[in-house]
Structure 1
């Protein structure tokens, strides 16, 4: 009897457990939960009637990140800006026409924008230029290497009174006006390396470094006494020009003379020294290159007596 009572009691307990409500965990939609929290931050009217058919769910960008669209400028405003654009290469606004001899930048665009300027130095290397561009009036150094410039006109540099260095390496220059450099009283370095120059123009007396290597000067490309009055000339590079003679007289200031790989066949005894004055000594000229020429230096030994060093070249 007792056993039956226990069985009956156990059945009651099992029935009670089965009939109890489920205790499974509820999965919340985190996205919907965050939206509900966001709406709870603001006051709203619970009694407002909303047409459920007009509700559109989407993602709205923050207002801060939305681009502000400005209306297109009126044509009159654009014309005013173009009229106010400065035309001079140095950035100034001209009040009248440019002075004679001073070129105007093409389209009003500054050379310093097309190329690059650091203080008074202009860098226009490798820009496929076919002519010297307009330069700021205070330019002291200009680099125009690796372009396609074919001619140097007399007004290309004449208005640059402060110019100290011109580097035109590796262009295709074949013609230079006689007055292209004459007025540049402060020009110190002139580099015309690797071009097609056939005639050397007149040079200002201020030049101390001249490089005309790898050109086509030939027999008549250098005028007589072209370097005589260049009393500040220290370095003169004329190699690879098909020269058949040494351009004399040379100033006493000269320290290096490069004439290698030309067609020089002979040299006179008074090329460097003074045969009338055996006490004369050219102490500065320590670097003479004559290698690569069909000349035998041993045939004129007295031509080197006034020099501190024997030239480099064939001695046999």
Structure 2
């Protein structure tokens, strides 16, 4: 309304200053002001004019409405922000389970302050922590069946690292710097079938679970006195035994009848006994399963121990 009033005054001033032009009669507008009492030749005193005709508390932005009237709805005290919308749509996090059986697969926190299955990768019952720079085995969910901790910086394995993991079937710690293990580290692992410890620095081997099917100890520093006496005797399910690249002086006997593969190359074995593979008290005894024996890379001439192979389906590979 105020802009209409000012525009009308300016038009009248312009017309009155032009010679020969009669100003058109203007109908008085009650909504603006009465023009018949206004002297066009009087200089408008803008500084003394009260432009705030609507009061100090009036919101002039409402005049942009088409009908020039303020809407009836009051402005909210606080305008909504992006944060309000985020809080409205952000769901409450579900509780985390330490089990593979539940919806959460994150496991307990490690020493790095991160849940195991965020630091590592968990797929089904398998936990993959390969090449993570770990210097200790992280706490594992109790439903773990296969653990892969290859190519880290592990030096010692404690008896608490696999405590209460009675579903664990496979441990692979290949390519670490392990030089020792607690003696009872594997005592509670009644389901363990694979133990892979290749490419470490072990000199002494702890007692092993009897249910193992595959043992890989290649490229360590194992010595014969670092093995338990008759340590493999009761392992009636053992099929694959890899002991190459160590410092063994003799073959660890007795060997279970279930054994299929025995790799002993690149050790320090110099002698074989007649009962290393066979039963000297039973000339009809045949070890049918053991078809792959590697003895090459030892200071041993296999031709000198012919009686040691008579019960085998195949001769060992070695130096002649």
The answer to whether TM tops 0.5 is: yes
- Superposed displacement of residue 219, structure 1: 3.1
Determine if the alignment matches structure 1 residue 202 to structure 2 residue 215: no
Determine if the alignment matches structure 1 residue 171 to structure 2 residue 173: no
Please give the secondary structure, in 1, of the residue aligned with 2:308.
helix
Aligned to 2:198: 193
Aligned to 1:35: none
- Superposed displacement of residue 91, structure 1: 10
Aligned to 1:295: 300
Determine if the alignment matches structure 1 residue 224 to structure 2 residue 229: yes
Aligned to 2:122: 117
Quote the Cα distance in structure 2 between the aligned partners of 1:141 and 1:44. 71
TM-score (norm 1): 0.69
Aligned to 1:29: none
Q: Which entry has the higher C-alpha Rg, 1 or 2?
A: 2
- Superposed displacement of residue 108, structure 1: 5.6
Aligned length: 239
CA contact (8 A) 1:89 1:134 kept: no
Quote the Cα distance in structure 2 between the aligned partners of 1:86 and 1:109. 13
1:40-189 → structure 2 map (5 Å cutoff): 69-70=82-83, 88=98, 105-106=110-111, 109-189=114-194
CA contact (8 A) 1:88 1:110 kept: no
Determine if the alignment matches structure 1 residue 312 to structure 2 residue 307: no
Q: 2:273 aligns with which of 252, 268, 272?
A: 268
- Superposed displacement of residue 88, structure 1: 5.0
- Superposed displacement of residue 181, structure 1: 0.8
Quote the Cα distance in structure 2 between the aligned partners of 1:44 and 1:68. 25
- Return closer, same or farther for 1:91/1:285 CA change in 2, 3 Å cut-off: closer
Quote the Cα distance in structure 1 between the aligned partners of 2:203 and 2:109. 29
- Return closer, same or farther for 1:154/1:295 CA change in 2, 3 Å cut-off: same
Q: 1:278 aligns with which of 283, 294, 301?
A: 283
CA contact (8 A) 1:89 1:135 kept: no
CA contact (8 A) 2:260 2:292 kept: yes
CA contact (8 A) 2:149 2:173 kept: yes
TM-score (norm 2): 0.69
Unaligned 5+ segments in structure 2 are 1-63, 69-79, 87-91
- Superposed displacement of residue 69, structure 1: 3.2
CA contact (8 A) 2:109 2:116 kept: no
Please give the secondary structure, in 2, of the residue aligned with 1:299.
helix
Please give the secondary structure, in 2, of the residue aligned with 1:70.
helix
